[in-house]
Structure 1
């Protein structure tokens, strides 16, 4: 997977991981970044689905239960 608009470089990822006691090389850091970008991409899709219009909320059954005076 290639994420074109990657905002975190491989060297930055290695630096952050090293500060937390995790030693990785360039290829391992690249795999970790790909995984994290994939998770972030799918998370934003989840929010879009949750915010999408739900046609069941506007069912005709609600109209039939309202009794007008």
Structure 2
């Protein structure tokens, strides 16, 4: 199964990825980056289907989708 990885220091909390996720797995976290933006997180990595819509929608290339180690 794929898993999303976020470069939280680049995130500006625009929430475009949250809107793009067809499974509604992304949400704002309780964490903030050095610039003071609330970062995005996946609330269920196991449910991610790897469609990459979140990564494509992100204007700052914050998200990358990686395969889980056991699916290689």
TM-score interval, normalised by the smaller of the two chains: under 0.3
Instruction: With the length of structure 2 as denominator, give the TM-score of the two structures.
Output: 0.25
Bigger fraction of residues in helix: 1
Instruction: With the length of structure 1 as denominator, give the TM-score of the two structures.
Output: 0.26
Bigger fraction of residues in strand: 2
